[in-house]
Structure 1
Amino acid sequence: MTRTFDQRHIRRAFSRSAGSYDAAAALQHEVEKRLLESLDYLGERVPQVLLDVGSGPAHAAAAMRKRWPRAQVIALDLALPMLRQAKKQAGWWKPFARVCADARALPLAEASADVLFTNLCLQWVEDLPAVFAGFRRVLKPGGLLLCSTFGPETLHELRESFAQADAVPHVSPFAPIAQFGDALMMSGFRDPVLDRDRFTLTYDDLPALMRELRAMGATNALHNRRHTLTGRARFAAATAAYETFRGADGRLPSTWEVIYAHAWAPPPGAPIRGQGEEIAAVPLSSIPIRRRAE
């Protein structure tokens, strides 16, 4: 399989941004808050083990620990400096475990978690069905998966502007909602439901947007990215192209499409990706897809 992302670059970028992430990640925190509301799907069920994958500074892990103080909560992230920030969230009175690991190879026992929560992490993954199969492996039968990712409308203004200035891509590709739902089915999850939000953030100029992306660790991690500086001429051309998007309010917009999903791990013995043709027998049109009110 052709690799889309440079995982070492991703680890370095988020490690460097650990100290600045919280201040820059207002959108990520809002999406996290909305995803946490989906824990209500558990009803009266009290989970014993909850896993926060791609936890960053682990606000979600802290919220789950507060909601279920007797549960074991694990914050897992690729970047060790992020987990050091997470220690501040853990506190001394209701601590949670912190594990430095890759979402693509979870170091947890099979059927060990009641809930797997992952907020805006999966956009850095090439093979969604494989990662979902790993998620399914660690979830108990009937366990709840809650996840979010960015959709293809995300940063389309930035993508189009740099495309006019440089033949090398500057913005990652993002999986559409249909591909996201299909990946859940391929890995054997049951009863997936998908939602979609569209946010618009505004900036004074292009450098302000780029500074915020760097502060969040959201830099260009594509394998085929330009490995030298963009250059003044290319950046000036991208800046001029971005100016065509400036709104009547005098601000430059950036679009962020967010896809949310929840699904349930199947009973024991159900086939995983590639182990049974019946997985693909459910048409994508049968997955409920909702557009949240803006």
Structure 2
Amino acid sequence: MRADFARAAASYDSAAVLAAEVGRRMAERLDVIRLQPRRLADIGCATGDGLRALQQRYPAALSLALDYALPMLDQVAGRVPLMQRLRGRAPRLVNGDVNHLPLAAGSLDLIWSNLMLHWLDDPLPAFRELHRTLAVDGLLMFSLLGPDTLKELRAACAACGIAPPLRAFHDMHDIGDMLVAAGFADPVMDMEMITLTYPAPRGMLRDQRHLGVRDGLLGHLPWRQWRRVLATWAESRSPVPATFEVVYGHAWKAAPRQTADGRSVIQFQRRP
């Protein structure tokens, strides 16, 4: 999907309604979290909307914009205000893969990732890499899509007797288990349904193409079958609904209980 994301860089913002809304709701959750990060990163930053919100919230923090599509990082760079560049507060741009982050262990205090991790077939290696990169007491905050995403389109496929080709997403509880397996402490998970509406199915297809995710999200069917499915979907309700299951999560990196060679870590405190 890297090439699809790269081609979509110029059109991404015109269709990123869901990402913008989910990012806003994620940011609201930071209101109740006591954290003053010195270094933060937006992993899978796309054109940088989330990173700019984080910079406003934490202006003193060193910020990293990381994406594996270089044209997305070009979009981030092109939107940095002149005064921010002159003051040396422009985000550092990092081209990298979340499974193999080009970052030092313990180098970040806050990692943010909005609607990216669900594109991984197995998110566990990425969670382990994010855990490695966080400092002790650092926070991971993320969102991703859940299995009931586009349930209306899946139902239309079933009504046509066609196996849905849409991408399958991980359940919220499985994601929580992965966080624990990756070493995170106190993971908190919740979800909500967000429904977008379109005058016709073509509007949703156009948005997904502009986001660079149409094939990755919808999969492939012969066009005649797609025509049947889309017609059935459009007949279900007007305007046409497209529901996305959005899963939110955050978790902390606790102090290690064992050293790398397996020895237990025991902390002593001097009594007054």
Same fold (TM over 0.5): yes
Determine if the alignment matches structure 1 residue 263 to structure 2 residue 251.
yes
Alpha-carbon separation, structure 1, partners of 2:165 and 2:74: 30
State the Cα distance separating 1:128 from its structure 2 match: 1.8
Aligned residue in 2 for 1:36: 27
> Are residues 271 and 236 of structure 1, via their aligned partners in 2, closer, same or farther at CA, if it must alter by over 3 Å?
farther
Aligned residue in 2 for 1:3: none
Aligned residue in 2 for 1:12: 3
Aligned residue in 2 for 1:252: 240
CA contact (8 A) 1:50 1:115 kept: yes
Alpha-carbon separation, structure 2, partners of 1:106 and 1:220: 26
The amino acid of 2:222's aligned partner reads T
Determine if the alignment matches structure 1 residue 143 to structure 2 residue 135.
no
Partner-residue secondary structure (3-state), 2:214: coil
The amino acid of 1:122's aligned partner reads L
Determine if the alignment matches structure 1 residue 123 to structure 2 residue 113.
no
Determine if the alignment matches structure 1 residue 236 to structure 2 residue 227.
yes
> Are residues 159 and 271 of structure 1, via their aligned partners in 2, closer, same or farther at CA, if it must alter by over 3 Å?
farther
1:157 to 147, 152, 156: 152
Partner-residue secondary structure (3-state), 1:146: strand
Give deviations 1:80-127, integer Å, cap 9, x for gaps: 111111113333313111111111111100010000100000110112
CA contact (8 A) 1:164 1:237 kept: no
The amino acid of 1:123's aligned partner reads H
Partner-residue secondary structure (3-state), 1:210: helix
State the Cα distance separating 1:243 from its structure 2 match: 2.9
> Are residues 25 and 97 of structure 1, via their aligned partners in 2, closer, same or farther at CA, if it must alter by over 3 Å?
same
Pairing 1:252-291 to 2, within 5 Å after superposition:
252-270=240-258
Alpha-carbon separation, structure 1, partners of 2:160 and 2:70: 35
The amino acid of 2:19's aligned partner reads Q
The alignment's TM-score, normalised by the length of structure 1, stands at 0.80
CA contact (8 A) 2:146 2:247 kept: yes
Alpha-carbon separation, structure 2, partners of 1:230 and 1:204: 24
1:69 to 55, 59, 80: 59
Partner-residue secondary structure (3-state), 2:2: helix
State the Cα distance separating 1:16 from its structure 2 match: 1.3
The amino acid of 2:109's aligned partner reads D
Give deviations 1:47-104, integer Å, cap 9, x for gaps: 1110100000111112222222221100101111111111133333131111111111
Q: Which has the larger radius of gyration?
A: 2
Partner-residue secondary structure (3-state), 2:204: helix
Aligned residue in 2 for 1:132: 127
The amino acid of 2:62's aligned partner reads Q
The amino acid of 1:155's aligned partner reads L
Partner-residue secondary structure (3-state), 2:110: strand
State the Cα distance separating 1:167 from its structure 2 match: 5.3
Unaligned 5+ segments in structure 2 are: 263-272
The amino acid of 1:188's aligned partner reads G
Structure 1 stretch 176-185 or stretch 108-117: which is displaced more? 176-185
Partner-residue secondary structure (3-state), 2:27: helix
Partner-residue secondary structure (3-state), 1:221: helix
Number of matched pairs: 256
Unaligned 5+ segments in structure 1 are: 1-9, 276-294
Aligned residue in 1 for 2:190: 195
CA contact (8 A) 1:38 1:146 kept: no
The alignment's TM-score, normalised by the length of structure 2, stands at 0.87
Aligned residue in 2 for 1:282: none
State the Cα distance separating 1:205 from its structure 2 match: 1.2
State the Cα distance separating 1:161 from its structure 2 match: 2.7
CA contact (8 A) 2:166 2:219 kept: no
